[in-house]
Chain A
């Protein structure tokens, strides 16, 4: 628990308002766990999210990145309790969402919304666009009748859709347009926080840029706070203020977006960044790629110790036993690796076999 307190204090100082008062996080996730019973293996438990602590501040975009099965979408859904957390807290304005009754939680969803990856699957095919976007207005008693109609028109305009579309059905739209409909629906209740779960992965390249620009414009206009979940590191880098890297249910590195790309501390983050092909033949011809061996292990019975040890080129014996805590290795830059420490943050400079972060990990 001690590291969490320091995290919190640190962000408060780092994000102080101009008058010197610390900014409270809008959302504070504390040691959140989501475990599922395995359908494949009797008695097996899938630790989809396994002890995640993360703070999200008003008006910022936190990018959450990781490979399939790492738990990033489950984390996003657990914040809104679309998937029930097993333990831990989700404090929204200091109120623990995880402890609310389902009726109270439904009321809170006015403030927290989600945009889904698959715009084909997340819109009811039997409802018109007007009904889809207008539904939350009725549910939360925000507007009805003519007022609701006007509000829907306004929302469609906000996301760049013509009002002519109000009476059309989702199948009449392209992927990008459907994603706009999904965004309009999320905005209908005037939320403060939006989980954007892979909002651009299913879209064409030219449309991805449109949706990213739309989300950024809405953030500026409405002072929204985003958790932007994606596996596309280029997109994450572009939209995020801070980035959290997830691997097999745990956060392994958290830092501001610029730093995590220019100076990643974790071997896994380095491999992720290095794996992204660069759209420049000259760069591609010369650069040395760090190709990881093997697959992402199954989240049922994940590797002991550091979960990345089975693929890590810097692995030593202790990595198989000790679970590395997320430590503030540099100011505002957190990493979970026993082979680095605040005194020696560069894994390349650590002597073979050394683990400067081991003592801190064992003392936790």
Chain B
């Protein structure tokens, strides 16, 4: 079964809520987006924006309880993942959709040799024999640039540096040639020179395999060079959505514009940085109206009263703001 419109993934109206002592938290609230085959989509947001929960929902890894996927569809290659039985999801997860996380140490089993962790995957999903799986594991470690892979394959995770562990994670994620790779802050825990290596590696492997990628990050610099499309999330909602170049060139949302302006520019002189005032939203107690209104420099009465519309600015550029068109026109 394959979808007809070239979309590998379509997420429609996804809502994932958490029950907490503080009441119901709408961590993801009505998220909709598409991902075409072979494309890279970036999801940007600060802590609590819902970017990670969105992706945990896609692969059905939201801890239940306290979390639950309340509504929505996640159409992966024509099938709604949210309607599948757990056993069916397990056949997709790791094989057709793979993930890498921020901290490779928490995703690797500290008591198992690297080689065995890699072999497990292809033995399970591809029916490899032990020998085949071992050869495949070594090949994957070589692909991701582990020097001397044949001997180092039998090391334990703690014997590797942070960058090397992230390479191992990527080798594991790609060992079944998944159609979709979800990378959640894959370089946040790494040093800049190692981050550059890992980003180059993801780019190269993506070109070689044609895998679609969802890249979740808080770093606007990382998405600028890596992605085709971008989603900016705030308080569980998609605030802006556009081709990456358009979004950077002409943001149509005050939050996006503020984020872009608050990153220091290396060519700038010293001086006051633009700062978004206030604190990231408390998602358990969102104000009525626009969730960003308390921090927005152009908020007026309507913003505090009425939930903003998702305005279409161009065929593929949308912004959640009462004044999206004005902000967009001003940014040009």
Interface residues of A, Cβ cutoff 8 Å to B: 67-68, 174-177, 204-210, 212-213, 216, 231, 233-235, 237-239, 241, 257-258, 261, 271-285, 289, 291-292, 295-296
Contacts and interface: CB of A to CB of B under 8 A. Distances in A.
A279 B197 CA distance: 18
A295 B163 CA distance: 7
B224 A281 contact: yes
Contacts of B219: 205, 277
A271 B197 CA distance: 11
Interface in B57-106: none
Interface string B262-300: 111111111011111101100000000000000100000
A284 B48 CA distance: 28
A270 to B, nearest CB: 11
B264 A237 contact: yes
B199 A277 contact: yes
B244 interface: yes
B258 interface: yes
B262 A208 contact: yes
Interface of B: 46-47, 161-164, 191-197, 199-200, 218-222, 224-225, 244-245, 248, 258-260, 262-270, 272-277, 279-280, 295
Contact of A282 (B245, B268, B274): B245
A170 to B, nearest CB: 15
B224 A276 contact: no
Given A206-B258, A234-B263, A279-B220, A68 B191 contact: yes
Contact of A279 (B161, B195, B196, B263): B263
Nearest to A262: B267
Nearest to B279: A174
B167 to A, nearest CB: 10
Nearest to A287: B225
A206 B161 CA distance: 30
Contacts of A289: 196, 200
B193 A272 contact: yes
B273 A213 contact: yes
Which among B193, B194, B225 has the greatest number of chain A C-beta atoms within 10 A? Answer: B193
Contacts of A278: 221, 224-225, 266
A296 B195 CA distance: 12
A284 B226 CA distance: 8
Given A206-B258, A209-B273, A273-B266, 19 more contacts: A67-B194, A68-B162, A68-B191, A205-B220, A210-B276, A235-B264, A237-B264, A238-B270, A258-B269, A276-B192, A276-B266, A277-B221, A278-B221, A279-B220, A279-B263, A281-B245, A291-B193, A292-B193, A296-B161
Contacts of A176: 279
A204 B47 contact: yes
Contact of A277 (B194, B225, B248, B270): B225
